[in-house]
Chains A and B, each alone.
Chain A
Amino acid sequence: MSVVRAEWIKLRSVRGRLIALIAAAVAMVVFSVFSAAGERRHCSGPTGCPSLVVGPGGQAVVDSYEFVDRPLAGDGTLTVRVSSLAGAQPWAKAGLLITASTEPGSSYAAVMVAAGHGVRFQYDYTHDVSGPQDPPGAPAARWLRLVRAGDTVTGYASADGSAWTRIGAARLSGAAGVVRAGMFVTSPQNADLTEHPFVTSGAVLPTLATAAFSDLTADGAWPAANWTGRTVGPPDDSYPVLTGGSQRLGDGSLQISGSGDIAPAVGGVEGTGVTIDHTLAGGFVALILVIAVGTLSATSEYRRGLIRTTLAATPRRGRVLAAKAVVIGGSTFLLMVSAAALSLVLGKRVLLANHDLLYPATVAAQARVVVGTAGLIAVAAVVALALGVVFRRSGAAITVAVVAIVLPYILFQALPTGASEWLLRVTPTAALAIQQTLPVYRQVAIGYTPVNGYYPLAPWAGFAVLCTYGVATLALAAWLLGRRDA
């Protein structure tokens, strides 16, 4: 403890080093705010910039589809046969849906045929349950059934309309009284993208799917009303859609064409919004400054011969190294937590003022991003310190620290996805995963790539990779410090 206090006096009594640490914190806030200010959304349409659709779970969602529905006042059952579904997108969907209201973002449950993914039961945007597997030579026709009892909706599927398999059930929120129930069709956007170093170019285009429904039966508390066709979705173009519609065919079946998706919103170029890590871009500048300070806190002692005074005062050399790591890591962490929290608060304001759609994140996720980003920078400072002890010269130590920590940070944005994901598994930059707030959803087919904000490792697993480097470099430094002449 006394050695920690001594190292703290060392750090605070060299004004240049203290100023550099504080400058790193200030730079983080300034560059983060500037970077957020650079993310300005321009909308040329007559409705201006679209607003965010938020689902019942608090996530940003997409809620656009063609719906032919009737009000359902109490308990009831809806059964239908999807006789055909034509659409290029594997996640084009056609089926039955019960929703609390047709306002975008409402709570819902649906049983459906997905063009390339079989029968599914989905509810409240983020939940996806796979139905019975197709037997070999899958049937062209699927029978679907949705049963409402109170606020619970249960989905069934059948190959022949007589033997039913229950897939799943969901409790809807805000669905105590009259709900809307009926048939829906939707088809997600098609992304045609080319990855360049640092940039992805291309277009995200809407698609249309068409399905035929037959043998519709409705039992239960259905007030007298006609089946009504409508396009559900936000009035603005937050998700690219084509015009859908519905018509009665000659054989008595109902044909519905729909465009859009009922799913969680995604990050990156295929999403419409930005995630909260876009408020922390200045962390990169802080990282570089802190690496320099961390290295110098070791190498300056070697350069001046002061290391002999230090080790004569504390002959147990491991303690000296530990104290230095605690002081440089701890002070960096405390400064960076404040800087990251301030960057987040200010950056959010700037993004919203720029009409950017900021995806909501839970308080726990935001805290994890702020604490994790500060931790990332602090551990990097400790790695730099250890490298300073290993190399004893600023030039070599800073070079190695930059190559190990900063270079992968730049490279992963320039390399193809495969190489980029490899870098983000094995280099200290894996810790960036701590900033990911959007989960991967299998029911939304996009490029879950690092440049889109999806990292190959889980948040704390990525952070653990960096910590492993920290422990390994500290161990090497301790070993060398112990056996070498001072």
Chain B
Amino acid sequence: MAGLRKRFGATPALDGMSFTVRSGVVTGFVGPNGAGKSTTLRVVLGLDTPDAGWALVSGRAYRTLHRPLCHVGSLLDAGALEPGRSARNHLLWLARTQGIATRRVEEVLELVGLAAAARRKAGGYSLGMRQRLGIAAALLGDPPVLLLDEPFNGMDPDGIIWARSLLRSLAAEGRVVLVSSHLMGEVQEMADHVVVAGRGKVIADAPLEDLLARHGTLEAAYLRLTRDQVEFRAGGAA
């Protein structure tokens, strides 16, 4: 993507956000609240229209993709579920829109460990289970590109370990894996490359090793890089 700009009223959400995500590695996407991470992902998915700039997936605009879930899998909000609908039916309607066979629905349910709970209403799921369902939905089309917004929120430690290894193995298969997160420890454990965003633009776009070499930990790097970018911070923390 290049030069993304987007305003919501008077507030600039994206102010020239530009970066490229490589395949074969896990890229962490970090930044304070309001840095434009979620907006960037929505623009990439063709949900929000940027005021300027463009975002391409495998060289094409998302909205021109035929069977887009087979090109890009995404998880924006694990809570975006109809509470009365079961996990299986949620994946089933998604599969129908892409012409994906029902067998693949069973496969991804098995993959994320929801096979046993698949016929229960999603309204009764814990946040961790919803994250697993969201990851299942992202993997439904077996896409070469994965965009995941805060996939670790609400997951128990077992879940986090599982998700981390899943994402690393997906990247190792040669996919593009972009994971936004607030959990610096998690990103440090998992990512090979990190994009730090603040106030709608990229502050740092570097291999994890480089950031660690300079700042010691990702958390320290993050705090130093975003010092002037945050909108709210308790006194003394900076």
Residues of A near any B CB (own CB < 8 A): 2-3, 5-7, 9-10, 13-17, 300-301, 304-306, 308-309, 311-316, 483, 485-486
Contact = CB atoms under 8 A, between A and B. Distances in A.
B80 interface: yes
Contact of A3 (B76, B84, B97): B97
A308 B42 contact: yes
10 contacts: A7-B93, A13-B90, A17-B84, A300-B82, A304-B81, A308-B76, A311-B46, A311-B47, A315-B68, A483-B49
Interface in B1-58: 42, 45-49
B128 interface: no
B58 to A, nearest CB: 15
Contacts of B77: 305, 308
B137 interface: yes
A10 B89 CA distance: 8
Contacts of B47: 308, 311-312, 485-486
A313 B63 contact: no
Interface in B103-152: 137
Contacts of A301: 82
Given A16-B84, A305-B76, A313-B69, A6 B46 contact: no
B82 A6 contact: no
A2 B96 contact: yes
B165 interface: no
B96 A315 contact: no
A13 B91 CA distance: 11
A304 B96 contact: no
A483 B63 CA distance: 13
A269 to B, nearest CB: 48
A408 to B, nearest CB: 33
Contact of B82 (A7, A14, A316, A485): A14
A301 B81 CA distance: 8
B161 interface: no
Contacts of B76: 305, 308-309, 312
B65 interface: yes
Contacts of B96: 2-3, 5-6, 9
Nearest to B68: A315
Given A6-B94, A9-B96, A312 B84 contact: no
Nearest to B141: A313
A22 B4 CA distance: 48
A2 B137 contact: no
B79 interface: yes
A486 B89 CA distance: 23
Contacts of A486: 42, 47-48
